Structure 1
Amino acid sequence: MQTLMSPGPLLDDRGHLVETGWAPSEIRKYRRSAITAPKFRIKEWDYYCVHTADYGIALTVADNGYMGLLGVSWLDFRTPHEITENVMLPFPMGRLGLPESADDGDVVVSKGKARFEFRHVDGGRHLIVDYPAFDGGRG
Structure 2
Amino acid sequence: TFLGASGRVLTTGFSRHSDRQYAVWDQHDLAQPLVQETIDSSSGVVFPYYDYDTNMVYLAGKGDGNIRYYEVVDEPPYVHFLNQFLSGNPQRGLGFMPKRGVNTSICEVFRFYKLHTSRGLCEPISMIVPRKSDCFQEDLYPE
TM-score, scaled to structure 1: 0.31
Q: Which has the larger radius of gyration?
A: 1
